[in-house]
Amino acid sequence: MSSKTIIPAKMLLNPIHFLSLGFGSGLVKVAPGTFGTLAAIPVYLLLANLDAEFYIGITIVLFILGIIFCSYTSKALGVHDHSGIVWDEIVGYLITMTLLPVNWVTICLGFVLFRIFDIWKPWPICVLDSSVHGGLGIMLDDVVAAIYAAMAIQLLLPVIY
């Protein structure tokens, strides 16, 4: 199976696949990573008003679970990092938004910047993407893309406000 192969919708009946496929957003045929990041926005809004320690703690737990979930779904699909596996985008977006003010400017800016870094894959993201495999590899490149996006937002915030 290639990373462009259509994922059967029945996979969503399995709770682990449901999560790793971004609540179904990963089944979209065009730009599933973008739709996975869109699916992250409601998750972010549910967590955004938590104390920073809880937000970061939950994000870390979701990252660790993501290693397990993405590995499981990747094995079921027979593809290392199928484009429909978008849990990494959800966690990446949460990392991008860590400690930011909650408003539509930061929500949209975080979305755009995370997508840019996730698609562009500047060094070392490109190296991680090609050399680290399994669930950790699926998650890790998005974590670094999220860190880049978060740094870019921090640089832009003084200009915006």
In the chain, domain spans: 31-160
Per-residue pLDDT tens digits for 113-140: 999 999 998 888 788 878 888 999 999 9
Cβ within 8 Å of residue 78, ≥6 positions away: 1
User: What is the Cα–Cα distance from 87 to 60, expressed in whole angstroms?
Assistant: 13
What pLDDT, on a 0 to 100 scale, did the predictor assign at position 80? 85
Cβ within 8 Å of residue 142, ≥6 positions away: 88, 89, 91, 92, 118
Q: Are 135 and 69 in contact (CB under 8 A)?
A: yes
Q: Average pLDDT for residues 55-74, to the nearest whole number? A: 98
Cis peptide before 158 (omega within 30 of 0): no
User: What is the Cα–Cα distance from 26 to 29, expressed in whole angstroms?
Assistant: 8
Give the angle 90-93-96 at the CA atoms, nearest 5°: 155
What pLDDT, on a 0 to 100 scale, did the predictor assign at position 126? 84
User: What is the Cα–Cα distance from 18 to 53, expressed in whole angstroms?
Assistant: 27
